[in-house]
């Protein structure tokens, strides 16, 4: 099947309004690779449940800094007219770069896999607004940095890696029936690897995925190959394929669906790789709208961003933490109001 070259066009016609300001994370250094979802708290109001993440508290990695991982469970709620973060619990293990989603009743988070300072993880957990944690069926193998999205009631994982410094990306897809939280994960083989930190999201009718980075080994050292191929799959016909004008890896996600459109934020185009990370010019701040296989840049996020969770709170897109260039995290919880034309 021939590829379509998709050039990310900039659309200036979308009107957006000032989003409500949200407080920074309680960790002033910020964190990358957090898990965060919108839930409904005990009072029936929307809240943000955020877990884990990582940063470099002492010095940057090129100066010998060691990445620190976290396991705290944080809840952002609105009381007496203002938003406040509270720590409500602690995970059994530190974790970052996991797959995650809201439960079907929106009262808890499902968190699967991820990694920490010692290993890639296979555990799956359900965490509610009280910080209570319930273990669910483990993934068949450890998995971190995977693309993930909820499609037709199932949490789907694709790509990612199974161990630190992996020399290959994972071929297997896994999915989990969210309506049966006591069930096991299923495994099925993909026809192609979809890398680490790919774009991934679902409109309900179509699963959109691709780009990211393939991993390969060069003299026993893990190397990234940035990809620009994307797919749209309804699982009834052959997946549609297209080629982006440039790769997008580690964008804030998973994609947030608003009707037939998926939104992503930021990411890394790979143009600087493999030059020294300390000289990286910074990540993208593009707000990307995907409708079918049509991709537009519809705005700019308040700051460059990657490796952050993206969620919807009311009529706003929201990111929690992330990084604005390699090694540098942000504590900002930023938002952007979805233009009326998409709602």
pLDDT tens for each residue of 23-53 = 999 999 999 999 999 999 988 999 999 999 9
CA separation for the pair 310, 30 (Å, rounded): 15
Q: What is the mean pLDDT of the chain?
A: 93
Cα→Cα distances 278→59, 77, 274, 281, 330, Å: 12, 36, 11, 9, 16
Give how far the C-alpha of residue 288 lies from the chain's centroid of Cα atoms, to the nearest Å. 14
pLDDT tens for each residue of 255-300 = 999 999 999 999 999 999 999 999 999 999 999 999 989 999 999 9
The predicted structure's pLDDT at residue 6: 55
What CATH number should be reported for the domain holding residue 304?
A: 2.120.10.80
Cα dihedral value 183, 202, 75, 71, nearest 10: 60
- The conformational region for residue 195 under phi > 0 = left, psi -120 to 50 = alpha, else beta, is left
Segment among 33-42, 211-220, 248-257 with least mean pLDDT: 211-220
* Confidence check: pLDDT of 133 > 90: yes
pLDDT tens for each residue of 296-343 = 999 999 999 999 999 999 999 999 999 999 999 999 999 999 999 999
CA separation for the pair 9, 7 (Å, rounded): 6
CA separation for the pair 188, 193 (Å, rounded): 12
Q: Which residues make Cβ contacts (< 8 Å) with residue 76, sequence separation at least 6?
A: 22, 23, 47, 48, 49, 50, 83, 84, 85, 333
Bridge-partner residues for 295, per DSSP? 290
The predicted structure's pLDDT at residue 9: 60
Segment among 89-93, 187-191, 203-207, 245-249 with least mean pLDDT: 187-191
Please report, rounded to a whole number, the percentage of residues in the chain having pLDDT higher than 90. Answer: 87
The predicted structure's pLDDT at residue 205: 94
Total domains in the chain come to 1
pLDDT tens for each residue of 152-207 = 999 999 999 999 999 999 999 999 999 999 999 999 988 677 899 999 999 999 99
Segment among 12-16, 52-56, 180-184, 248-252 with least mean pLDDT: 12-16
The predicted structure's pLDDT at residue 230: 95
What is the span of the domain harbouring residue 48? 5-342
């Amino acid at each position: 099947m021939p590829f379509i070259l998709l050039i990310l066009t900039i659309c200036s016609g979308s009107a957006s309004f000032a989003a409500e300001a949200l407080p920074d994370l309680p960790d002033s250094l910020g964190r990358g690779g957090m898990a965060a979802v919108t839930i409904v708290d005990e009072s029936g109001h929307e809240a943000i449940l955020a877990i884990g993440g990582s940063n470099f508290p002492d010095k940057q990695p090129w100066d010998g800094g060691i990445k620190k991982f976290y396991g705290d469970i944080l809840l952002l709620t609105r009381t007496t007219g203002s938003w406040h973060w509270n720590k409500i619990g602690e995970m059994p293990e530190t974790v970052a770069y996991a797959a995650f989603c809201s439960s079907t009743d929106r009262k808890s988070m499902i968190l699967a896999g991820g990694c920490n300072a010692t290993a890639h993880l296979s555990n799956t957990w359900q965490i509610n607004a009280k910080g209570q944690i319930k273990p669910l069926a483990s993934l068949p193998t450890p998995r971190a940095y995977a693309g993930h999205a909820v499609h037709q009631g199932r949490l789907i994982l694709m790509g990612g890696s199974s161990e630190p410094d992996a020399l290959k990306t994972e071929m297997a897809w896994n999915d989990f029936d969210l309506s049966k939280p006591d069930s096991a994960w299923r495994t099925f083989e993909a026809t192609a690897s979809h890398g680490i930190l790919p774009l991934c999201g679902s409109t309900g009718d179509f699963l959109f995925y691709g780009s990211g980075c393939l991993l390969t080994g060069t003299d026993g050292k893990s190397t990234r190959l940035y990809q620009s191929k994307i797919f749209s799959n309804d699982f009834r016909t052959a997946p549609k394929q297209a080629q982006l004008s440039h790769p997008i890896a580690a964008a804030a996600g998973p994609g947030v669906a608003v009707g037939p459109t998926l939104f992503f934020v930021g990411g890394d185009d790979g143009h600087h790789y493999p030059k020294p990370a300390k000289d990286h010019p910074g990540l993208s701040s593009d707000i990307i709208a995907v409708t079918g296989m049509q991709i537009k840049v519809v705005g700019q996020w308040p700051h460059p961003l990657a490796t952050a969770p993206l969620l919807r709170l009311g009529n706003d897109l929201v990111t929690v933490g992330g990084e604005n260039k390699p090694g540098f995290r942000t504590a900002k919880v930023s938002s952007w109001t979805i233009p009326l034309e998409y709602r």
